């Protein structure tokens, strides 16, 4: 399942071992895909961001979480968004694939936004997201042999089970400040309801994101940012980060996920159009102290199709 909160309705049968126990732990603790470089991947969680960069922008992100832990999450994200020919409208497409143990989930998202001017430099955007969700569970990969035979309820794999979803968001920004509030998945889809294995309900995740860019001197900019994620029945997740941009070419910073992990981030503006970013997370929970967890790694590539008429004061931090 996805990775922030899935409510388990009936207990998993005790004779399941190994990977299944890991998956159950993950689905209870995490639901929506987790990103350290969320400031460069806002459209994945807030549809109102679509088109806000003023030109076509494409980003690809790969995250390997808890490297060394068998069955740990891996996430691939590809998104693109652009303003439309109609004044104020923007649109975007996203593809998210995530694998956790024997489960794989794929999301196809379509975003639509509408932006109004609220001042000379300020904009307020409203967005809608439509999602198609495909779920695969390969029960055949589980170790079901516990001396009492195999579990008959786990002999039928789940292949490409489809469920739709919708989301919404608002996003306000100037050339220095931004803030957004969103719920990317509003329908609380229930899985396995017909199965004696368990019931699992995907709950709504509420996101608040904000940040500000300060000029410390002509060659150095500082941007603190915040991502807060709330879901019913789970602790509030808070990510805070502090990034510096040097000579409009190199960025570096640190981040802290409350009671979960410390992170380091670096980025390179290879050209006016191309940016690459890297992040490393180190868990501060009991999981981080284990010898089989080498931390989490993340890489993002973003390409902006700038027009010859675009006037870019500096590479966009957001």
In this predicted model, what pLDDT tens digit does every residue of 269-315 receive, in sequence order? Answer: 999 899 999 999 998 877 766 667 788 999 999 999 987 655 454 45
Residue 106 pLDDT = 94
CA atoms of 6 and 213, how far apart (whole Å): 36
Residue 269 resides in a domain: yes
Per-residue pLDDT averaged across 232-260, rounded?
A: 93
Q: Cβ(108)–Cβ(99) under 8 Å?
A: no
* Residue closest to 186 by CA, chosen among 163, 209, 160: 163
Residue 15 within any structural domain of the chain: no
Instruction: Tell me the average pLDDT across 242-251.
Output: 94
Per-residue model confidence (pLDDT) at position 78: 96
pLDDT score at 153: 56
Kindly state whether residue 309 falls inside one of the protein's structural domains.
Answer: no
124 and 152 in contact (C-beta within 8 Å)? no
Does the pTM surpass 0.95? The reply is no
Six-digit token pair at 84? 């439309």
Structural domain boundaries enclosing 286? 45-144+159-304
Please report whether residue 131 resides in a domain.
yes
The winner for highest mean pLDDT among 5-19, 140-154, 184-198 is: 184-198
The answer to whether residue 54 is domain-embedded is yes
Q: Does the residue 133 lie in any domain? A: yes
Q: What is the mean pLDDT of the chain?
A: 82
Confidence at 110, pLDDT banded by 50, 70, 90: very high
pLDDT at site 26 = 43
Q: In what order do the strands lie in the sheet with 200-202?
A: 6-8, 200-202, 190-191
Residue 170 inside a domain? The answer is yes
79 contacts 115 by C-beta, under 8 angstroms: no
Q: What is the CATH number of the domain that holds 66?
A: 2.40.160.40
Q: How many domains does the chain have?
A: 1
Whether 154 is covered by a domain: the verdict is no
Model confidence pLDDT, tens digit, residues 62-79: 999 988 888 889 999 999
- pLDDT (0 to 100) of residue 233: 79
């Amino acid at each position: 399942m996805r990775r922030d909160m899935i409510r388990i309705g009936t207990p998993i049968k005790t004779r399941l071992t190994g990977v299944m126990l890991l998956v159950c732990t993950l689905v209870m603790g995490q639901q929506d895909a987790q990103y350290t470089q969320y400031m460069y991947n806002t459209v994945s969680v807030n549809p109102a961001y679509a088109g806000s960069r003023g030109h076509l922008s494409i980003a690809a992100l790969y995250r390997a979480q808890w490297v060394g832990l068998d069955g740990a999450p891996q996430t691939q994200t590809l998104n693109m968004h652009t303003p439309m020919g109609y004044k104020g409208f923007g649109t975007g497409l996203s593809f998210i694939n995530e694998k956790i143990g024997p489960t794989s989930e794929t999301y196809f998202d379509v975003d639509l936004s509408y932006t109004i001017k609220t001042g000379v430099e300020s904009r307020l955007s409203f967005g809608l997201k439509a999602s198609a969700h495909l779920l695969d569970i390969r029960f055949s990969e589980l170790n079901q042999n516990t001396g009492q035979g195999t579990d008959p309820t786990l002999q039928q794999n789940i292949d490409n089970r489809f469920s739709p979803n919708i989301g919404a968001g608002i996003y306000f920004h100037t050339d220095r400040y931004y803030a957004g509030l969103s719920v990317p998945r509003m329908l609380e889809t229930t899985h396995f309801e017909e199965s004696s294995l368990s019931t699992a309900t995907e709950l709504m995740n509420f996101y608040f994101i904000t940040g500000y860019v300060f000029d410390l001197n002509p060659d150095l900019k500082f941007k603190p940012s915040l991502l807060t994620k709330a879901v019913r029945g789970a602790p509030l997740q808070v990510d805070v980060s502090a990034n510096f941009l040097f000579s409009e070419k190199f960025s570096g910073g640190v981040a802290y996920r409350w009671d979960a992990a410390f992170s380091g981030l670096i980025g390179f503006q290879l050209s006016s159009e191309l940016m690459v970013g890297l992040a490393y997370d180190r868990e501060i929970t009991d999981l981080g102290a284990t010898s089989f967890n080498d931390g989490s790694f993340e890489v993002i590539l973003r390409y902006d199709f700038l027009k010859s008429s675009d006037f870019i004061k500096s590479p966009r931090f957001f």
